[in-house]
A and B are shown apart, each in its own frame.
Chain A
Amino acid sequence: MAVRMNVIRRAQDLPREELFMPGHGLCAGCTASTIVRHLLKIAGKNTIVVNATGCVEVSTTMYPYTSWKVPWIHVAFENAAAVASGVEAAIKSLKRKGIIDPNKEIKVIVLAGDGGTYDIGFQALSGMLERGHKIMYVLYDNEAYMNTGIQRSGSTPPHAWTTTTPIGRVMRGKPQPKKPIGEIVAAHRIPYVATTNVAHFIDMDNKFIKGLEAEGPSFIHVLQPCTAGWKFDPRLGIKLARLATQTAMWINWEIDHGEFRVTVRVPKRKHVKHYLKPQGRFKGLTDDEIEEIQKIVDTEVERINKMVGEEVIGPVVE
């Protein structure tokens, strides 16, 4: 295991320098900008960002303006991992030939949403992981195609409303479960995989550090509440992210060189209704359907606890 050079213990440990500039067009209350701001603070300026098509891409680079103080490239929706593979290979080759300074460490980060990762970008991602490029892939997961107007993705949770999975008399939101992308990525046996949550930013930032220090590919999966797509009051983004963890709708874990660990323990769990009720996308679900979601979560909690070998996520108490 690599020696960890830096650990963030509190907000004051974060660098003051801002590399992600304000003035972009992301929605008021969007938590993606919080994630990106932290990400660049951790990564620093010797970083190249490869952005898949998505909310962050379109909202931060309206020509001739940009929010990025690091080199940044967008090519298409489904190929960010392939583009980043090329960037990383170019750096390797040019360093070897002395065309760029071989002593300069240049970090390569992919930033992609759930559509660009779970679905259309999955093949390129798998290729990048299999080839072992030293790239940190950051997935900001808002659980639908928000940029095109809230269509269902492989990440959308069961029973969630989207414009393509309405809650009607016959169809009751998304019929399928959320694809376990983190574990699918981990099956590639890369050095570091983690799930994290914008409300637990210390957990998130330390995972960015670990991901960047990994000797090969790393994958950081961040839950990103979306005010427009989840239909909640823009003030509530961080609160909802925290509720996701408190209800175990979302579990913060890591697989560090094969070692699985839950990084944010939840001794007393809240019922999923506390997470679902403030969100318009779950409006109209019956109590039975909410209980159905609760059962899915209970099963997942049981599986995770078994994997860890102790009760890291406790019972529902409220």
Chain B
Amino acid sequence: MERVLQKVEQKRIALSSNYAVAYAVRDVDVDVVAAYPITPQTTVMEKISEMIANGEIDAELIHVESEHSALSAVVGASAAGARVFTATSSQGLELMHEILHIASGMRLPIVMAVPTRALSAPISIWNDYSDLMNTRDASWITLIASTAQEVYDAIVQAYMVAEDPRVLLPVMVAYDGFVMSHTYEPLEIPVDNKAIRDIVPRRDRVTLNIDKPVTMGTITDPRWYYEIKYQQVKAMEEARKVLNETSLKLSEVLGRRYEPVEPYRLDDAEIAVLTYGGLFGTVQEAIDVMREKGLHIGGIRLRQWRPFPVEELSHLLHNIDLIIVIDRAISYGASIQGPVALEVIPVANRMGVNVVSMIAGIGQRTVLEKDIMGMVIKALDYLDQGIFPLRSIYWGVRGGE
């Protein structure tokens, strides 16, 4: 995040990332919220319920009986013209999976917050990104925030992007469950939410309107299905542009500028560590320590997971020899089992950059600065030997190779 000249009056408050979501939802003026409780998403919904009960948010809250129905209800509400919101984690996101694809296929501008959590079995309420990574091909624009401030800003931006007529795709805003969802950080939000409402104006789109009847969610045979899905491909491409435009717009109003991939001390770096979410803070600390020891190392934070920022990442890799990608999810049986590493590899290959895929933080196994430094030392060994493993390295696992 880059600080630019601040335009609107803001106040500094302390919020958890889950509460930051609720404040953003309040400020954009949603019409319908549907959700089902699941740890660690619960406090998002509790705060929104409180705000609705107090009249701070004027919205219908649907207390659905499952996450499947939560997403289904917001699909219905969005189709009927409402601005909608939902949130879930882990098993809840899995239960929604069928409807994830339908929401994007129907081109509905739904916004969802995902404080990420490990998947069962065995059941784990703790954090990793297995749930989010399973949604990779669902055609949702996906942002991964690293601070409570960014969570607030990303929810606002999500509505700006989702409702843009060039896009009309749903947006997920993900962040670390517990590590971010339940810890307090200082952030700034506008004193008057009019500033936010001005940048997310209500726009016309095709809805279930009795004066202009439409048929939505038809059956489509082989003569048409492919073209309709290709429109989704185009919309996702358009989203790259709209994400950049809205980042700029947001920076003009709020004074905070976000990039799809964000560098940290990368200018003269030869080695880069790439990760996403709250873990990037630990990576930054580790980089500072390693820099003091004379290592030319920097960090890259992936903020925009879908659409994947191919060009922007290429630019950052110009002078890099080695990139270490830390994933907090496992793609079992894949060639490289870190889902983000798998996507970095083609970009890095084009730039002649070596990639080491590290798996860490599974089920919220603690990752400290010394772990990051250990991963870097391990990767430097590979660089020295000139041989890179064709698999991911499972950092800190007992009984691992």
Contacts and interface: CB of A to CB of B under 8 A. Distances in A.
A96 B58 contact: yes
Interface string B338-352: 000000000000000
A124 B78 CA distance: 18
A34 to B, nearest CB: 20
Interface in B71-130: 72-82, 84, 98-99, 102, 106
| B: contact size bracket | 35 or more
B218 A63 contact: yes
Interface in B43-74: 58-60, 62-66, 68-70, 72-74
A72 B210 CA distance: 10
A93 B32 contact: yes
Interface residues of A, number: 48
A73 B208 CA distance: 8
Given A82-B76, A85-B64, A86-B72, A94 B214 contact: no
Contacts of A184: none
B333 interface: no
B371 to A, nearest CB: 43
B102 A62 contact: no
A282 to B, nearest CB: 32
Interface string A65-107: 0101111111110110111111101111110110110001010
B62 A85 contact: yes
Interface string B8-35: 0000000000000000000000011010
B115 to A, nearest CB: 23
A112 interface: no
Given A87-B76, A89-B73, A90-B31, A127 B59 contact: no
A89 B32 contact: yes
B387 interface: no
B66 A123 contact: yes
B37 to A, nearest CB: 14
A64 interface: yes
Interface string A147-188: 000000000000000000000000000000000000000000
Given A79-B69, A123-B66, A90 B98 contact: no
- Determine which residue in A58, A68, A70, A90 has the highest number of CB atoms from chain B within 10 A of its CB, and name it: A90
B69 A71 contact: no
B385 interface: no
Contacts of A78: 68
B210 A45 contact: yes
B210 A46 contact: yes
Contact of B72 (A66, A94, A124): A124
B335 interface: no
B80 A86 contact: yes
Interface string A41-58: 000011110100000011
B210 A47 contact: yes
A99 B31 CA distance: 10
A177 B223 CA distance: 43
B227 to A, nearest CB: 10
A106 B224 CA distance: 32
A92 B210 contact: no
Contacts of A48: 80, 208, 210
Contacts of B292: none
A66 B218 contact: yes
Contacts of A126: 65
A61 interface: yes
Nearest to B61: A89
B268 interface: no
B386 interface: no
B73 to A, nearest CB: 4
Contact of A83 (B66, B72, B98, B209): B72
A94 B82 contact: yes
A131 interface: yes
B213 A71 contact: yes
Contact of A70 (B70, B73, B213): B213
Contacts of B82: 86, 89-90, 93-94
B81 A69 contact: no
B294 interface: no
Contacts of A131: 62-63
Nearest to B212: A71
Given A82-B72, A86-B32, A61 B66 contact: no
B366 interface: no
Contacts of B208: 48, 71-73, 87
Contacts of A79: 68-69, 72, 99
B207 to A, nearest CB: 8
Nearest to B30: A93
B72 A73 contact: no
Contact of A99 (B65, B81, B102, B217): B81
Contacts of B60: 89-90, 92-93
Contact of A94 (B34, B81, B102): B81
A73 B68 CA distance: 17
B219 interface: yes
B372 to A, nearest CB: 43
Nearest to A62: B219
Contact of B210 (A63, A71, A73, A76): A71
Contacts of A47: 210
15 contacts: A45-B213, A50-B76, A57-B219, A62-B218, A71-B213, A72-B213, A82-B64, A82-B68, A85-B73, A86-B84, A87-B76, A91-B80, A93-B59, A93-B60, A123-B66
Closest 8 CB pairs of A and B: A86-B76, A127-B65, A82-B69, A86-B73, A86-B77, A90-B82, A83-B76, A79-B72
Given A85-B76, A86-B79, 19 more contacts: A47-B210, A62-B220, A63-B218, A66-B215, A72-B213, A72-B215, A75-B76, A75-B99, A75-B106, A76-B99, A85-B73, A86-B76, A89-B32, A90-B31, A90-B77, A90-B84, A94-B80, A106-B210, A123-B69
